[in-house]
Structure 1
Amino acid sequence: MSKMVDENLSPCNPTGKTLLVLRKRLGWTQPQLGEFIGVTEQTVRNHEKGRHRLRLELWQYKKLHQLMASVGMTVDDLPDPPK
């Protein structure tokens, strides 16, 4: 199994709000988004509610980036790393 990206080191970890905005712009449900990026519906729900942060592999970031581009979002819409 490949190593997961550490959410504390990743400058690209989407906030729950960012993921929710993306999902709503797509008109997708939590299960649809989860299936596309390779996580469970529960993971999407917990992330959107701020219960935990996503830990994504690089291929998942690539899929997330593709989705964001399809609705006019860029990496600038992702949060900056904590200072």
Structure 2
Amino acid sequence: MANTDSARKRIRQNEKRNARNTARRSRVRTFMRKLEDALTGGDKAQAQAAFQALQPEMQSAVTKGVLHANTVARKLSRMSARVKSLGSAQA
């Protein structure tokens, strides 16, 4: 247990940040799940809409320090390729 006032404050701050970051990470995962469902369903228009909604959420997570920039870039690149290939497979 923390003995000093500053250590107690640090614990309070960490708990708040942890809750905030958990919520942000969960929000990103929700948007990713929506895109996964659209890709699995095979609806290109819905997949594109889901991807457009996912991009700013992931970039926001980078800005807030929840996710690493290269991780987001890699995932967005792969998702974009999957959305594009969805259209060519049906055409």
User: What is the TM-score with the length of structure 1 in the denominator?
Assistant: 0.29
More helix by share: 2
User: What is the TM-score with the length of structure 2 in the denominator?
Assistant: 0.28
Q: Give the number of the structure with larger relative contact order, counting CA–CA contacts within 8 Å between residues 6 or more apart.
A: 1
Instruction: Give the number of the structure whose alpha-carbon radius of gyration is greater.
Output: 2
